[in-house]
Amino acid sequence: MNRFDRQWQKLIVAARQAPAETGATVPYGFATRLAAQAAALPATPWLPLERFAWRGLLVAAVCGISAIAFNYSVFTTEQTDIYATGTTDVVVDLLDIS
């Protein structure tokens, strides 16, 4: 323990011996005023929003999955038929690869 640590410990030990401050009684009217203020607070604005957000996410996920499921066949057939069905793709025409 260096000199400062010794000095600081001595001071802290003395400070801890100071009597605890009394008078922790609620000031007159304090609790009533706070209770009134608490009653006037808006009713937890974040929780309903949070519920909406989760519902929104669920609906969006269902829509997304449905969209993929309904259009899956279209995606796959378009990919395979692109060269076979006489497409008018400019690049295909230019390179003459049809």
Partner 1 sequence: MADESFDLLGCLERVRQRDQLAARQLVEHLYPLVSRIVRSHLPRRVAEEDLAQDIFLKMFTRLEQYQGNVPFPHWVSRIAVTTCIDQLRAQKRRPEFRWADLSENEAEVLDNILTDERDVAPGQALAARELVQKLMAQLKPDDRMVIQLLDLEQKTIAEISGLTGWNQTLVKVRAFRARRKLQKLFQELQSKERS
Binding site for partner 1 (CB under 8 A): 3-8, 10-19, 21, 24-27, 30-39, 41, 44, 47
Query: 42 or 86, CB closer to partner 1?
Result: 42
Query: 19 or 86, CB closer to partner 1?
Result: 19
Q: How far is the CB of 67 from partner 1 (least distance, A)?
A: 36
Contact 91, 85 (CB under 8 A): no
Cα(98)–Cα(96) distance, rounded to whole angstroms? Answer: 6
Contacts of 86 (CB under 8 A, 6+ apart): 98
